[in-house]
Chain A
Amino acid sequence: MLKVEDLNVFYGDIQVLHEVSIEVREGEIVAILGVNAAGKTTLLNTIAGLTKKWNGTMTWMGQPLHRVPAFRRVEMGIVLVPEGRQLFPFMTVLENLELGAYSKAARREKERSLEFVFQLLPKLYERRHQLAGSLSGGEQQMVAIGRGLMAKPKLLMLDEPTLGLAPKIVHDVFQLIQDIRKSGVTILLVEQNMHQSLQVADRGYVLENGRVTISGSSEALLRNPTIREAYLGI
């Protein structure tokens, strides 16, 4: 459903991504892995339409994304839950979720989506009238993911959803990712937590200094000696 080929991305004069090619098929969980500053966030931001200087080809369901501005990509079903949550801190949980359903198609389904999100994340229902800025880190991450789901995504991109969370909550987030996939949403996951990501993902790409160095099925990646040594410490 999403195809990225030979993608180069620049911040000013500095090239951040080099000839990156990835593909996401419908129904998959695909993980983008790598250390800090490998270019993972840049890749997601470019797919979401947030970076300006890039070349290469990106197609969504066969359509080129070249001239599609970021806000229209949301309507097409490409939804990013950004790194660091980026909630609207002075709005309630409910208002945050409702804004997730801003695009026209999502607006029509708002009530049903809300029900779905509260069913998936019952904690948010209890907290719905609290200001988003007053929640704990784990709860804020749940709001961010819930807000992403309100947009009725076909592809949900999650940027480091477990960053800075307690181990118990990290486990919940990975469980949630699997539940979301079961509901029919394709997932592109960026993570530093390689071991747990490969447990839930079907396939993975390893980014190093802005290039894809290794890719393959999760089982193959877990067996790969380079990965075992460099990332899993086995």
Chain B
Amino acid sequence: MLLQLTVSGILLGGIYALIAVGLTLIFGVMRIVNFTHGDLVMLGMYLTYLLYKGFGLDPYISLFIVPLALFLIGVLIQKLVVQRVVGRPHEVQIFATVGLSMMLSNAVLAYFKGDYRSVQTTYSTDTIQIGPVFLGVPQIVAFGISAVITLVLFLFLKFTYTGKAIRATTQNRISATLMGIDVRRVYTMTFAIGSALAGIAAVLLMPLYPTYPSIGEAYLLIAFVVVVLGGLGSIPGALVGALIIGVVETVSAYYLGSGWKQAAYFVIFILVLIMRPQGLFGQRGAEQL
């Protein structure tokens, strides 16, 4: 049973990785904690739902639409709100992104009401047996796509000029400017990419779980715990952290009951802060840079 739970947890962690990598990337580049990140996932889930309900689009076809829409929403949020608070005191940044988060979730609540919405696909409950382990088809697909996207992101950051500009800005904003890099454009690209990743995660989650207006809080919490566990601003840290949290979630939900899984995250969160405040892969003091 433990093996079954561990494998399921790792598959789930793959989706969490997409959400957390976006959050940590935005933090690393802009030094801003994006409290709207969970709501971006929520918007993505509703968009997937609407495309399914309105046009009968399979979620996996929405994979070509929703992330693009989220990318554009990300550009908009960056230009209208986030750009104005970059470099300002923390309380200003927190008020701005928390405020936006409330606005988004309440707008969705007003329009859709509080009901759970879900997408029923023919493959939602399909499973494959590998040795002693049963795996859901949507889970496997989600993990596979997450892995590919993460790899693409890594190659993008490593080898393209825009990717290098993003890394340079993370390491030294002033120097990046002196290289002729338009740092504002880098901010916009980063925020949009982070949002698109949240959009991909949203599409992958939709065949598995229903959505509701305040679901963003749950995913934001998970992403925070993952990012702190892995080290603020560290992408490899976010990947490993996401897999660990995925396993913690499935194991604790089985043995303690699903009501306890958030308690389990927090125990891990607190242990990390006590024993290794910089996270698994973080540099000490990185959060202050």
A157 and chain B: residue at smallest CB distance: B178
Which B residues from 175 to 199 make CB contacts under 8 A with A?
175-183
Confirm or deny: B70 has a beta carbon within 8 angstroms of a beta carbon on chain A.
no
- Kindly identify which residue among A89, A90, A106 contacts B180, using a CB–CB cutoff of 8 Å: A106
- Kindly identify which residue among A48, A82, A88, A107 contacts B168, using a CB–CB cutoff of 8 Å: A88
Assess the A102–B180 pair: CB atoms within 8 A: yes
- Kindly identify which residue among A48, A79, A91 contacts B171, using a CB–CB cutoff of 8 Å: A91
**Nearest CB on A from B55, distance (A):** 42
**Nearest CB on A from B179, distance (A):** 5
A86 and chain B: residue at smallest CB distance: B175
- Kindly identify which residue among B164, B171, B182 contacts A89, using a CB–CB cutoff of 8 Å: B171
- Kindly identify which residue among A50, A69, A90, A99 contacts B179, using a CB–CB cutoff of 8 Å: A99
Q: What is the interface residue range for chain B against chain A? A: 10 to 19
Q: List the 10 shortest-distance A-B pairs measured between CB atoms, nearest first.
A: A74-B180, A103-B180, A86-B175, A88-B171, A102-B179, A70-B177, A71-B182, A102-B180, A99-B179, A71-B180
Contacts of A151 in B (CB 8 A): 179-180
B contacts with A: majority SS: helix
- Kindly identify which residue among B168, B174, B182, B183 contacts A99, using a CB–CB cutoff of 8 Å: B168
23 pairs across A/B with beta carbons < 8 Å? A48-B178, A50-B174, A70-B178, A71-B183, A72-B180, A80-B178, A82-B178, A86-B175, A86-B178, A87-B175, A88-B167, A88-B172, A89-B171, A89-B172, A90-B171, A95-B164, A102-B161, A102-B165, A102-B180, A103-B179, A106-B180, A147-B179, A151-B179
> By the criterion of a CB under 8 Å from any partner CB, how many residues of chain A are at the interface?
28
Report the separation of the CA atoms of residues A88 and B172 in the bound assembly, to the nearest whole angstrom. 6
Tell me the B residues contacting A by CB distance below 8 Å: 161, 164-165, 167-168, 171-172, 174-183
Confirm or deny: A208 has a beta carbon within 8 angstroms of a beta carbon on chain B.
no
Whether A98 touches B164, Cβ cut-off 8 Å, given contacts A71-B180, A71-B182, A75-B180, is yes
Contacts of A88 in B (CB 8 A): 167-168, 171-172, 175
Assess the B181–A102 pair: CB atoms within 8 A: yes
A70 and chain B: residue at smallest CB distance: B177
From A70, A100, A151, residue with most partner B Cβ within 10 Å: A70
